[in-house]
Amino acid sequence: MENLSEKLSENTEYIGGLFENAMDFILREFKIDGTSAALLAMDGLVSKQHVTIGILNPIMRTAVLQTDGRAQMEYIKENVLGAVEQTELHTVPEVLDRLMNGFAILMLDGCDYALAFGTQGFEKRGVDEPDGEVMQRGSREGFVETYQTNISLVRRRMKTPELKFEKVTLGEESHTPAALCYLKNTVDPDILAEVKKRLDACNLKDLLAAGYLTSYLERPSIFESVGLTERPDTLCGKLHEGRIGILIDGTPTAVYVPYLFIENFQTVDDYANRPFYATFIRWLKYIAFFLAIFLPGLYVGIAAHNPELLPETLLLKVAAAESQTPFPVTLEAILLYFMYELMREAGLRVPKPLSGSVSIVGGLVIGETAVSAGLVSAPSLVVIALTVITGYVIPKLYEQMAVLRLAFIVVGGIWGVWGILVGLTFLIFNICGKTSFKVPFLAPVAPFRLQDMRDVLIRAGWKTLAQKNHPVQSMPGAGKGEKRF
């Protein structure tokens, strides 16, 4: 059955059969001036008070001076419930879609269409500060699981008719609603068309998190070319640069594309602080990135294959410490690294009351006790601990850094410093050869554009930032709209 029938009994019997044994399906049958009527809704998704006061009571108390079902529906729509949000539905899929989104559906015998009323009343979380992107300055608002609320958070910050929201449905079974958002005068039409094409090719059964969608929007690589954020102010800044955002119902994380490598080192605080301090923090992050990836591998490579690179005093201390441990330096570094990762994972997964115990036990066992027992050397412990700490400075890249760190430890243990250099070369080739929706992933460093470096190695003042194009808009094949910055 595709289209609704004029016979109410056929409609209710078919739709009721679809929801057989569904305890949350509500089907209320009643009479309107002798004509059979039915109200359909999903318990938990609608406000029963709104349905009773705003729909049922006005209909039951009003005399509908019509005999034909279609004429009665027109009278109710225009005269009885004219102030209520309503939409005509002519097919069964439309009815099912509205039911699942918290609408109440009115059907009349003798009328071949139904009316859907916006009566959503499901529980939702309030707007608060996101835990994953805590900022010192700026807004304390973060996205929530309801995408209509997220749309309003973006609209409040961008009061322009150029801001567009297009509804899309994702998930073959979940039918998850989502909103595609962009600035019409800034977005590249080709990139927008490509995003829609990839979303249409998404064959997911269910879409329960934003991470489900990223693999359909990017090409396989260790570095992500799809941005994720929980902050509406961050998304608004990206939209001004010509990006395209996707707000998904059921997740507090927004997706945006294109996404560049340099954005992993940028935060909202960078643009709220003074330029000289923001530049200092930016360089601190670059240094932390290289230390987090290469420090353990360099330490292992130098200690195992190239000890002549160390100063004599440091070399003697490292040799003395390693001579008292039973494991080779490479195996020692790998074991320590795995133990720290186990501690981190345990701290994330255990209940909060036990997280303190995990930290205490891990610190005692892996730290002081392991060194005192002679199982690991103090230099190796310091190197791995420093590496883990620097990895937390750039949380957006922690997953990539965790894998690369282990890879370079193995490479350094087998081939020494030369193996690290070869691995670095392959890593640079991978980043330089990657694109995100026609925009080079390493832009504006490669290809190099001097005028766009004002927000890479340094953070220029706002008078300079506001006058120049953003790399997404200035790269070949992108940014055909108005160039904002």
pLDDT attached to residue 361 = 65
Q: Which two tokens stand for residue 57?
A: 């009571």
| pLDDT band of 484, cuts 50, 70, 90 | very low
Q: Which two tokens stand for residue 426?
A: 């392959």
Cα 461-463-469 angle, rounded to 5 deg = 95
Q: Which two tokens stand for residue 286?
A: 């670059």
Assess whether pLDDT exceeds 80 at residue 40.
yes
- pLDDT by residue (tens digit) across 222-265? 888 899 999 999 999 899 889 999 999 888 999 999 999 999 99
Task: Give the contacts of 428 (CB within 8 A, at least 6 positions apart).
Answer: none
What's the average model confidence in pLDDT over 419-434?
A: 90
| pLDDT band of 85, cuts 50, 70, 90 | confident
pLDDT attached to residue 342 = 82
| pLDDT band of 289, cuts 50, 70, 90 | very high
CA distances from 96 to 21, 101, 124, 173 (A): 16, 9, 22, 12
pTM: 0.81
| pLDDT band of 476, cuts 50, 70, 90 | very low
pLDDT attached to residue 357 = 64
| pLDDT band of 473, cuts 50, 70, 90 | low
CA distances from 356 to 334, 348, 387 (A): 25, 11, 22
Assess whether pLDDT exceeds 50 at residue 483.
no
CA distances from 329 to 292, 319, 373, 383, 407 (A): 18, 10, 16, 12, 15
Q: CA torsion angle for 378, 380, 384, 385 (degrees, to 10)?
A: 10
- pLDDT by residue (tens digit) across 180-199? 999 998 999 999 999 999 99
Task: Give the contacts of 431 (CB within 8 A, at least 6 positions apart).
Answer: 223, 261, 441, 442
Task: Give the contacts of 402 (CB within 8 A, at least 6 positions apart).
Answer: 341, 391
CA dist 48 and 373 (Å) reads: 67
Assess whether pLDDT exceeds 60 at residue 122.
yes
Q: At what angle do helices 275-304 and 398-432 cross, to 10 degrees?
A: 90
CA dist 118 and 86 (Å) reads: 7
Any idea which of 279-288, 365-374, 434-443 has the lowest mean pLDDT?
A: 365-374
Higher pLDDT: 52 or 334? It is 334
First to last CA, the chain: 53
pLDDT attached to residue 471 = 55
Task: Give the contacts of 315 (CB within 8 A, at least 6 positions apart).
Answer: 307
- pLDDT by residue (tens digit) across 310-347? 888 888 888 888 888 888 899 999 988 888 888 888 77
pLDDT attached to residue 314 = 86
pLDDT attached to residue 377 = 85
pLDDT attached to residue 300 = 93
**Are 15 and 3 within 8 A, CB to CB?**
no
Residue 72's SS3 state is helix
pLDDT attached to residue 412 = 93
| pLDDT band of 355, cuts 50, 70, 90 | low
Q: Which two tokens stand for residue 391?
A: 């990895």
Higher pLDDT: 361 or 86? It is 86
CA dist 48 and 14 (Å) reads: 24
Question: Residue 389 is which amino acid?
Answer: I
What's the average model confidence in pLDDT over 114-129?
A: 80
| pLDDT band of 135, cuts 50, 70, 90 | confident
The half-sphere exposure of 429 on its side-chain side, counting CA atoms within 13 A, is 6
The half-sphere exposure of 278 on its side-chain side, counting CA atoms within 13 A, is 22
Q: Which two tokens stand for residue 455?
A: 């927000």
